[in-house]
Each structure stands twice: as C-alpha cells, then as structure tokens.
A and B are shown apart, each in its own frame.
Chain A
Amino acid sequence: MKRLYFIVIGFVALLLASCEREQRRFQQGAPSTDTSQSHASMDEIYPGGARPPSNVANVYEENAYMVSEGKRLYEQYNCVGCHFHGGGGIGPPLMDADWIYGGEPQNIHDTIVEGRPNGMPSFRGKIPDQQVWEITAYVRSMSGLLRKDVAPGRSDDMSIKKPEESQKPEPPKK
C-alpha cells in the first residue's frame, strides 16, 4: 500500500514539474527599454580595458510560452527574410557560435532596436519592446543557449531543421 502512495506521489510530482513551462506571465515587464543607457559590450577591443559584462537577465528566457511567441514573431516580422531559419543567407547565421555584435540578451536586443551596419535595419518603435525581448529569447534558443525544457520543441511549418530544443549548445566564442 505504501508503495502505491509513493508511485502516485511520484507521478503527481512529475506532472507538476511541467507546470511552470507554459505559464503566461503577461504582467512581467521586459528588462530594460532604453538602449542609450545600455552597457552591453559588443566587442573585446576597448580603450582602457573591458567593462564588466552586462548582467541584464532576460526573464523571458525562462518561459516556454514567451520563447514560442518569439518564434512566431521572428516569422511575422520577417526576420526569416534575411537570417532564414537560423542558417543565414542575406544576414549572418544565428545558430552558430559567432556573434558579430555580441550574443548576450542585451546585445541582441540592442542589435534589433538600433540596427547594425551593412543591412540590419533599426526596428526602434516598429516592434513593441516586449516583443523584441521575446524575439531575443528565441534567437538565443536557436544556438541552444536556453534550457531544453524552454526551447521550442517543434516547428509550425515543414522544416528539415531540428527543433530548437534539440540544438547542440553553441556557447558564444570570446
């Protein structure tokens, strides 16, 4: 009888483990909106030594719903037009370890909002900031930088690419 209790409790615990995954935190604000105050470092070359690394955490990277929203927005705002599904084409690939302008959440956010030379347009005001942070979280999932249980598990379209949750982690090269 005792064993049955343990089995039941174990099963319920397993179910509860997945509770947080899809929680929709609409009230949770995006980390920061002002890119002019951003301290994200883009390059390793600095006068007078490097600044301490940016420690802005993107809360959306903890939430599967927000990341899957980011995945949809990545299509809807036509990021696929240049970066394709991560492999790159007109724009650089996003699923590898190379980051021209930094791979931390704040860097990617700033790159989307500010734009970058040679083709990346500035989306300032054109994408609501919360959605920029959702896209940022998704972009990082493409190179396997998010937890496996948060990264999207499938694609809505036909794709020969593996879903983001099975992407081998590609930590940014320093």
Chain B
Amino acid sequence: MKHSAFSNLGSFLLGGNHSVTSPASPQAHQINGIWWLMFWVCGAAFVLTMLSMAGAIWRRRKAIEVDHARDSRRAAFVALASGIVVVVLFVFLVASAVGMKKTEYIETRNALTIQIIGHQWWWEIIYNDPVPSQIVTTANEIHVPVGKPVLILTSSRDVIHSFWAPNLNGKRDLIPGYQTAFWIQADHPGVYRGQCAEFCGHQHAHMGFEVIADPAGKYEQWKAAQILPAKEPEDDVKRHGREVFLSHPCVMCHTIRGTDAGSRVGPDLTHLASRGTIAAGTLKNTTGNLAGWIMNSQSIKPGNHMPSMSLQPDDLQALLAYLGSLQ
C-alpha cells in the first residue's frame, strides 16, 4: 500500500481510487469541474504568455525610434489584456463560489450518520444509533451504502487532523474539542482511498483509510455482522490466543467486544479479520504482517503509540490464530 510521490501525482492527473479527477460523488463532480476549468484556462494563458514572449524575443527591438501612433496602440493592447485577466478571474470567482455552494448542499433525508475521531495515527469510526446496542465501532475502514447521503461528524482526540477522500469530497479538518460536520455520498460501488491531509506528527504519512461503498444489501449485511460481539474461539489454540490477549499488554489499550477487553486507547479489534488493512492503511491484513506489527510495530511505523511486545512463539501463534478468527 505504499504510495510514491510519482504514483500519487500520476493518479491525481489520470484518475484512480485516490484522485480528485475521477469523482464518485455529487460534490466531487463539482470540485472536478472547477479543477478542469482552471486547468484549461490557466493552460491556455500559459501557452499564450509563452508564445508572446517568444515573439518578443524573435522580433527584437531595432534602433530606438519614437512612434507615438504605435505607443498608443500598445497601451490599448495592454489595457485589453488586463481587462481579459480581470474577466477570467471573475469567471473563476463565480465558478468556485457556485461550486462551493453546491458542495455544501446535499439532499439530507434518511441520511446515515457516522462519527469519525482522529487519533495519532489512525481513524476511529463510530456508526451512531439511538439504540446503544446498535452502535458499531470500527477503525480505518468506512463502509457506506451507495447513493445514500452520509453525514460525517468529525472531531479529534489529540491534534488537528484532516479527513480527505478526494474521490468523494474536499478536505475537512478534525479539530480537538470541536465537532464539524460534512457530507459524502458515493454514486457507485468501489473502494476509495483517503488520507490525513493536515500534518499531525511523526506518522502523518501513514494515516490512511478506505471508504468502501457497497450496494445497500451488502452494506446492511456488513453492519449486521459488525454489531455482533466477537466470535467465541472454537478450538484450544484460539482459546489460548484469547488468554494471551487478555493477560498481556494488548488488553490495556484495545477493545474486543464480548470479552473483558474494553479499553478505548487503540483501535477496536472486535472484527479485525474483516478489515483489509492494518495500521491505518499501512499494511495488508495478513498473518505475517500482523505478527510483525505486534512484535515490533516501531520498525514499521516508528514513533507510533503502540509499544513493541515480547511474546513466546507459542503465545504469538495462538494470538494470531485468535485475531485471525475475528471475522
């Protein structure tokens, strides 16, 4: 999941699942329209400027001769060019004002509400519900139904972060102690990558997330599975793995619903195996990656807030088997 600067630039211009130029929501279409308007107008202005400069170099000034008629023609030309610049800037102003207005507005009936809390360096995702037993908490993966407006309430637990899924909407800052709200809506199914867009410390670059837009039925299925407490381990190895989890440092920071682990410092691990990535979009969720992360997370994301563990090999294997069973 590592993105180099060049591949990011490429996907920005050519589209992709982390790009302003392949919009997948009404707001992103607005932003995309403004981007291409500015791109073509500024591109044309750049080409014209370069051409006239080349022309000026080509037709270098001959001996100094005073020609008042030509001077007044030049003055008229400069005034005309300035006028065109002002008009073009006004066009931009109106286009962005109209675009912003449309980006703010969205059909809000039967909307879904998701609360997103920024942490150094991961995202806590809470699906609010008036019935407490229906509240779903997960991390770094936001599932939304296609075609349904989603109200996102954001805040932060530590420093300022910024939520940015370029295919869906612009950026929105997550501010500690202050709740902001904005809307997203996915037009078609897909996986859209997002990223923290406000420098928030050591591992800012590894603070990614995924928005997974599913058809309504599939989304309901996902949510019904997430509401359930963690699966009971069905064999001795996994039962031992749960013992390891509950008697070692893991339990001091993580939650697994259905067990005694209920701490809210780190991501909720109740359905860890259902997620595609670990460490906020840094690594694919495989057994090997998870083992490396548990034993020495500091070599993968230096400075992150999870201390490295020291576990006996048997304990580690049992723990991995248990975590791998948390679908």
A79 to chain B, nearest CB (A): 12
Partner of A126, one of B248, B306, B310: B248
Cβ-defined contact, B307 with A73, below 8 A: yes
Count of B interface residues, CB-CB < 8 Å: 12
* B307 contact set on A, CB distance < 8 A: 72-73, 76-77, 127, 131
Kindly state whether residue A52 has any CB partner on chain B within 8 Å. Answer: no
* B283 contact set on A, CB distance < 8 A: none
Q: Which of A33-92 contact B (CB under 8 A)?
A: 72-73, 75-78
Kindly state whether residue A128 has any CB partner on chain B within 8 Å. Answer: yes
Q: Which of B298-327 contact A (CB under 8 A)?
A: 303, 305-307, 309-310
Known: A76-B306, A76-B307, A77-B307. A127 touches B265 (CB 8 A): no
Q: Of all chain B residues, which has the CB nearest A78? A: B265
A55 to B145 CA separation, bound complex (whole angstroms)? 65
* B180 contact set on A, CB distance < 8 A: none
Interface residues on A, range: 10 to 19
* B287 contact set on A, CB distance < 8 A: none
* B247 contact set on A, CB distance < 8 A: 125
Cβ-defined contact, B305 with A76, below 8 A: yes
Kindly state whether residue B191 has any CB partner on chain A within 8 Å. Answer: no
Cβ-defined contact, A130 with B248, below 8 A: no
Name which of B249, B265, B309 has the most chain A CB atoms within 10 A of its CB: B249
* B248 contact set on A, CB distance < 8 A: 125-126
Partner of B309, one of A75, A77, A78, A128: A128
Partner of B252, one of A72, A75, A126, A128: A126
Cβ-defined contact, B252 with A77, below 8 A: yes
Partner of B249, one of A127, A130, A156: A127
A121 to chain B, nearest CB (A): 10
A156 to B247 CA separation, bound complex (whole angstroms)? 30
* B310 contact set on A, CB distance < 8 A: 128, 130-131
Instruction: Write 10 A-B pairs (CB below 8 A) sorted by A numbering.
Output: A72-B307, A76-B307, A77-B307, A78-B252, A78-B265, A125-B248, A126-B248, A126-B249, A126-B252, A156-B303
Q: Which residues of A contact B (CB under 8 A)?
A: 72-73, 75-78, 125-128, 130-131, 156
